[in-house]
Amino acid sequence: MSPQQSRLLIVDDNEMNRDMLARRLSRSGYLVDVAENARQLMQHVKENGLDLVLLDIEMPEVSGFDALKMLRKDYSPSQLPIIMVTARNQREDIVRALNLGANDYLTKPIDFPVALARIGTQLSRKREEVDQPATESRLRDRVYRPRYPFAADADIVDLKSGTRLSGVTSDVSLDGCFVCTGGWLEIGARVRLTLKHKNQNVLMLAIVRVLKPKIGMGLQALEVDSISNATFLQWLDALRESRGTPTT
């Protein structure tokens, strides 16, 4: 999805902030709309074909968190990517936003090259979901190299519905893992993933990217969210050291 085909909405009650960001994104080729509160946000979503929303957390009357919750009642993360923007840069706010269904986040002052990269990533993922059949993802076509030849117990909780699945990993890579379960979740679902191997556990956020339902089981590829990637890699390294297993 090229910038020229993509319409973005910036939601911020600070006129200087939203206009400055709008000008820079427009110069990068995006079609940009602006809104100063949740009411205008909802109006834009209903009337315009938006591809992505940049939503400020701290707004009067209706906060960005509450606006996010309202949007997620009607639009999934793949249908309408939402990147939260906050000056707080506090882990609790970031985790709360992701748990409520945000796709990503940016902190003020905004690093514009980082903003462009994250916007581009979300638009590319949205295009992949549109181009692929409902039960597949382009992740299946990537070279998915297992890093460790061991199985870990997996506990998966859908952050939106609360559905809980348990299973065992069939392989683990730098991207995430495939998990064999007794059921399955929708592609694009954001989940809380706990992996347990002996006495070494890791808790992180992930996204369902591939679904291969079979009789009596589901095989799903979970891609670790960027906010949890460092934690995941530390866990993998700790297991490698404890087992003396070389990286493939």
Instruction: Give the amino acid at 25.
Output: L
pLDDT value, residue 4: 52
Task: Classify 42 as helix, strand or coil.
Answer: helix
Following CA atoms 177, 179, 183, 188 in sequence, which dihedral angle do they give, to the nearest 10 degrees? 10
The 104-107 sheet, strands edge to edge: 31-35, 7-11, 52-56, 82-86, 104-107
pLDDT value, residue 246: 44
pLDDT value, residue 219: 67
pLDDT value, residue 42: 92
Contacts of 24 (CB under 8 A, 6+ apart): 112
pLDDT value, residue 138: 43
By C-alpha distance, which of 87, 235, 106 is closest to 172?
235
Q: Going residue by residue through the chain (248 aa), what tens digit of pLDDT does each one get?
A: 455 578 999 999 999 999 999 999 999 999 999 999 999 999 999 887 899 999 999 888 889 999 999 998 888 888 899 999 987 667 778 878 888 888 888 988 899 999 999 899 888 878 766 554 434 444 444 444 445 656 789 999 999 888 999 988 877 877 788 888 878 888 888 899 999 988 888 999 988 877 665 544 566 788 888 777 778 888 887 777 776 544 44
Q: How many CB atoms lie within 10 A of CB 129?
A: 20
pTM for this model (two decimals): 0.56
pLDDT value, residue 3: 53
Q: Regarding the domain with residue range 3-131, which homologous superfamily does it belong to in the CATH classification?
A: Response regulator (3.40.50.2300)
Q: How far is Cα of residue 73 from the mean position of the Cα atoms in its chain?
A: 17
Asked if the 138-243 domain carries CATH number 1.10.10.10, the reply is no
Q: Where are the domains of the chain?
A: 3-131, 138-243
pLDDT value, residue 244: 54
Residue 57 in contact with residue 65, Cβ under 8 Å? yes
pLDDT value, residue 139: 41
pLDDT value, residue 150: 67
